[in-house]
Chains A and B, each alone.
Chain A
C-alpha cells in the first residue's frame, strides 16, 4: 500500500492541564474524503489545529507523505499542500470577496492559473461571483462559508481540511455546501472534513472516524458507520 498523504500516530494535545486529544491514529489517503465526527468539544477542531501547527502536539507524530511535520510553522503548511478552512469561516470582513480570494492564492505566482481557479470558484459558488466587489463582512453566513471554502481552494491544496462547514447554516445551504464538497472530491481533491452534522458528512464521505472526548471511538467506511446503531443513537438523532 502506498504511503498515506496524512497520517497521525498517537497524537496528543494538551491545553494546560486539560487533555484535549489522546492517542489519535488517523490516516488520509490520496483522493479520499475522510470525515472526522464527534460532538461539540470532542477534539475535532483540536485535531485540525494540531495538524496546522496552530497548537503544539504534546505527544505523537504528524506525518505528511511519510515525513514528520514537527517544527514546521503554520504558514509553511499550505506550501506543502495542506489547506485549512477554519472553524467560524474567518473571512477577512474588511476586504472584498475578490480580495479574500486573491489572498487565498498568496503563495502562488502563476497568474494565469490563478485566474482560471478564480473562475472555477465562481462557477462552484455563483453567489460569490455576484458579490465579488462587496466586503466579505456584508455576506450572509452561508455565503461567508462558501467564500472560506473558495479561498482555501485558491491556494490549490493537495489536502483540504474543513472545520465544521455546515455550522450555523440552514439545511438548504448545508446541502449546497456538501454538494460542492462532493464535486471537489469527484474532481480528485483529498478532503478531511470535520463535522458535527454526521448525517450530512457520512452521505458524502468514503471513510469516517468518530471522536468521543478526545479519543477515537469508532472508525470505518462511511457506509458501515451509517448503518451502525450506536452512531445512529449518538449522532444521527434517530
Chain B
C-alpha cells in the first residue's frame, strides 16, 4: 500500500515537474512580451528527438533517412544538455521568424499567437518528415548504471522518476536563482516590468527578449528529453499535449508568475496521478476540470497578480 502511495506521489511530482518546466518557458516569454509562444510544444518534441539522436538513436523506416544515426552516441547527460541548448536555439529562431518581424512593424501583439502556432506546426511537420510518425524508445544504455528501482523505506519506486524529478527541481532552482540574484536575471525582470525604463538604464531589451526565448526553448527541450528517457518518444506530436498541459498550468498558477508556474505544475501532476489507472482515459478531463474550478474561484490563477497590480 505504501508502495503505491509513494509511487503515485512520485509520479505526480515528476510529471508535475515537467509541466512546470513547460509552463516556466511560457512564463518567461509572457513576462517580457505579454504573449504566449504557441511553438513551445514543438520545442518540447524537438528536445526529445534531439536527445534521442545525440545518444546515437537511429531514424526509423518511415523517416527521411531510414537507419541513419550518429556514428557514436553521447552519454545521456551530455545529450540532454546539448538537446536543451539546441531547442533553445530553435526557440531563438522562432522568435526571429514569428515574433520579431511583427514587433518591428508595431503589429497587434495577439497576431504573434497565430504566427507562433504556425511556426510550431511547421516544426512538428519537419520533425515528422525527418523522423516519421512512429514512436521511439530510447537506447537500452540510456541510463546504464542506474538501478531500475529504488527501495525507500520498504517501498519500491521507479528510479527514472526520481531522476526526472531531481532534474526538474534542479532546473527550476537554477532558473529562480538566476532570475532573482544574477545581473542578467535582474535585467530580464526589469524588461518584464518596464521595457522602456530598462532601456534608459542601458539594458538592451531586444537582447533580453531573445534571451527569454532561448531559455524558454531550452526548458521545453529539457522536458522533452526527460519524458523521452522516462517513457519514450510517442511521435512528433508528443510535445503538443505537453504544450497544452503547460498552458493550462500557466493559467492555473497565474500568468507571468514564476512560483505560480511551479505550484500549478505540481498541482496538475497531482490531479492526474490521483485518477485511478483503470480510469486513465479521464486523466486530462480531471486535470482540466480542476483548472476550471480554480479559475472560477480565482480568475487570476493561484499565485497570479490581480490585474490592477500589473503595471
CA distance A107 to B186 in the complex (A): 13
Task: Find out whether the CB atom of A99 lies under 8 angstroms from the CB atom of B186.
Answer: yes
CA distance A160 to B197 in the complex (A): 15
A contact residues around B196 at 8 Å (CB): 54, 74, 86, 90
**17 more CB-based (< 8 A) A-B contacts, given A92-B190, A94-B189, A102-B183:** A54-B199, A74-B196, A75-B198, A75-B202, A78-B202, A79-B202, A84-B200, A90-B197, A92-B189, A93-B311, A95-B186, A95-B190, A99-B186, A102-B186, A103-B198, A106-B183, A106-B201
User: Is B7 interfacial (CB-CB < 8 Å)?
Assistant: no
Q: How far, in Å, is A95 (CB) from chain B's closest CB?
A: 7
Nearest 3 Cβ contacts at the A-B interface: A78-B202, A74-B199, A107-B202
A contact residues around B204 at 8 Å (CB): 73, 75
From known contacts A93-B311, A95-B189, A106-B183, infer whether A151 and B201 are also in contact, taking CB-CB under 8 Å: yes
Max chain B Cβ within 10 angstroms of own Cβ: one of A83, A92, A104: A92
User: Is A12 interfacial (CB-CB < 8 Å)?
Assistant: no
On B, residues with C-beta under 8 Å from A are: 183, 186-187, 189-190, 193-194, 196-205, 311
CA distance A52 to B197 in the complex (A): 11
CA distance A93 to B203 in the complex (A): 17
Q: Size of chain A's interface in residues, with CB distance under 8 A? A: 26
CA distance A208 to B125 in the complex (A): 64
Max chain A Cβ within 10 angstroms of own Cβ: one of B196, B201, B204: B201
CA distance A152 to B201 in the complex (A): 7
Max chain B Cβ within 10 angstroms of own Cβ: one of A86, A90, A99, A103: A103
Task: Find out whether the CB atom of A103 lies under 8 angstroms from the CB atom of B201.
Answer: yes
A contact residues around B198 at 8 Å (CB): 75, 103
B contact residues around A79 at 8 Å (CB): 202
CA distance A157 to B222 in the complex (A): 42
Produce 1/0 per residue, A159-186, CB < 8 A to B.
0000000000000000000000000000
From known contacts A93-B311, A94-B193, infer whether A78 and B186 are also in contact, taking CB-CB under 8 Å: no
Q: How far, in Å, is A96 (CB) from chain B's closest CB?
A: 10
From known contacts A95-B186, A155-B202, infer whether A86 and B197 are also in contact, taking CB-CB under 8 Å: yes
Task: Find out whether the CB atom of B186 lies under 8 angstroms from the CB atom of A103.
Answer: yes
